[in-house]
Structure formats: structure tokens, C-alpha cells
Amino acid sequence: MASMEKRLQKELTALMKDPPTGVKVDAESIYKNLSEWIVDLDGAPGTLYAGEKMQLLFKFGSRYPFDSPQVMFVGPNIPVHPHVYSNGHICLSILTEDWSPALSVQAVCLSIVSMLSSCTEKKRPPDNAFYIKTCSKNPKKTRWWYHDDNV
């Protein structure tokens, strides 16, 4: 637990001090509770999501960074993307089984931005309607099939 806090604190400091483009931590949201972050993302220019503003919600468990955080889109704009369900869940392998403690919030954010950026057609995942009805609130509980390696 202590290590999780320490790590988050450091990550936060680093992220605030030197944020990558298009990534902005909502420090207000973290003020009370270090284990839940809201991160504002900007769609990368020159991509389908250019100009869009999105919000990611990170929830860190006490085993972070050895265990992956819960990451999902929240807020008014859930980007339309073949790997993003309309309830905000993201199908991204590094968020579950491919998680590595070497990853960080910043890395995850960049991965997601990159995932969005490489999208060629804005559409929901094919099983969106079914998934959002049946899924758990916690995207980590979903058994993802990472079938698409192209995006």
C-alpha cells in the first residue's frame, strides 16, 4: 500500500510537472483520493479524434503497480472507436493481461492516445450492444479477447 502511494505520488508529480502533449491530470480529482485519477486527453491532431476531448478514469488498487489500474473513459465524450465500448470500457491488452509494473499512468495514456490515433474508422466494437448490457462495472473483470492487433 505504501509503495503504491509512493509510486502514485511520484507519477503524479512527474505527470503534472512534465505532461505529455494532450494529457492532463485533473489534480482536483486526485486531491482527496490518490487512488482515483481523472485524466483529460486530447485527441491527437491529424487523427480522427483531433479536437476531441476525452476523460479517462484511473482507479488504482493497493497492488499497483504490480496490478494494473482500472482504466475507462468517462464523462460526456466517450470516443467512438472499435476498441472502446460505449460505456467507456477499453479493450486494450496492457490494461489487463499485458500489464506490466513498468507501465505507468503516462504510458497508459499514451497507449490509449496512440490507439485512438491509429484508428481509421470511427465505430463502436461489433459486440457493443451486447457487451454493455452484460459487462461488469469493472472493465478488469471482463475477459478480453484481443483479437485485433492492427489498431
Partner 1 sequence: MAGEEQVECPLCMEPLEIDDVNFFPCTCGYQICRFCWHRIRTDENGLCPACRKQYPEDPAEFKPLTEDELQRIKKERKQKDLQRKQKAAENRKHLANVRVVQKNLVFVVGLSKKLAETETLKKQEYFGKFGKIHKVVINQSTSYAGAQGPSASAYVTYNKAEDALKAILAVNNVHIDGRTLKASLGTTKYCSHFLKGSQCQKQDCMYLHELGEEAASFTKERNAVRNSANNHVITTGSKPIPTRKKESSPLTVTTSSSPESQGTPPSIMSNHSPNSPSSNKDAWPSLQPGSKPNNKPTRTDQHNRVNNKIRTKSEEDTDHSSQITDRFNGTNTVHRTTDPQHSNTVHRTTDPQHISPPQQTKPPLSQPRIVNSGVPGVKTVVFDNPAQSLSLFSGNVFYGNRNQKIPVPTQTEVPDIPTTEISESIQVSSCTDWQAAFGFTSKSRESQDDDLGFDPWDESSKGLADLLEKENVTTNIHQQNNTHNQKYDQRPTQNLPPGFTLSHIQNQQRPVQHPAFLQNELVGSRMMGFLQQNPKRLGSMMSNRREQTNLQHPESYNKDWQDGLRALLPNINISFGAPPPTSANSQKSSQNNHKSRRCLSKNSYFDGPRTIFDPAILSSGKYSDGSMTDCPPHWLKSITQLTELEGQSQNHRLPFVQQFPIRNSGWPTQTQNPPPGFQTRPPTQHSEPHKISEGLQ
Q: Using the rule CB under 8 A, is 123 a contact of partner 1? A: no
Q: Of 62, 39, 50, whose CA–CA distance to 108 is shortest?
A: 39
Looking at beta carbons only, is 110 or 119 nearer to partner 1?
110
Q: Using the rule CB under 8 A, is 100 a contact of partner 1? A: yes
Residues 38/31, Cβ–Cβ less than 8 Å: no
**Cα–Cα distance, 143 to 72 (Å, whole number):** 15
**Cα–Cα distance, 85 to 142 (Å, whole number):** 12
**Cα–Cα distance, 123 to 86 (Å, whole number):** 10
Looking at beta carbons only, is 10 or 122 nearer to partner 1?
10
Given the C-alpha cell 472502446, which residue does it identify? Answer: 84
Looking at beta carbons only, is 35 or 87 nearer to partner 1?
35
**Site size with partner 1, rule: CB under 8 A:** 12
Q: Using the rule CB under 8 A, is 29 a contact of partner 1? A: no
**Cα–Cα distance, 5 to 84 (Å, whole number):** 29
Residue 145 grid coordinates: 479477447
Q: Using the rule CB under 8 A, is 10 a contact of partner 1? A: yes
Name which position in 76, 102, 133, 147 contacts partner 1 (CB under 8 A): 102
Binding to partner 1 by CB under 8 A, coded x per residue (else -) over 42-81, reads -----------------------xx---------------
Closest separation in Å from C-beta 53 to partner 1: 30
- The CA-CA-CA angle for residues 53, 5, 63, to 5°, reads 90
Closest separation in Å from C-beta 146 to partner 1: 15
By CB under 8 A, name the binding residues for partner 1: 3, 6-7, 9-10, 65-66, 98, 100-103
